Amino acid sequence: MPMIEPVPPKAEPPPPLLGSWNRLYAVVVGELLLLLLLFLIFTWAFS
């Protein structure tokens, strides 16, 4: 068995959109933060 080491993202081919994995991860985390903000507004607006 080879060494168990996490492979750095740079060693992988880029995703088919956005050009790099880090950008794609930022979109996923950014969407979560945006949803959190919208949920806070939603809770506040209708409470």
Binding site for another protein (CB under 8 A): 1-7, 9, 11-13, 15-16, 21, 24-25, 28-29, 31-32, 35-36, 39-40, 42-43, 45-47
CB of 38 to another protein, least distance (A): 9
CB of 19 to another protein, least distance (A): 13
d(CA 43, CA 30): 20
CB of 21 to another protein, least distance (A): 7
Provide the phi-psi class of 5: left if phi over 0, else alpha when psi is between -120 and 50, else beta: beta
H runs (alpha helix) in the chain: 21-46
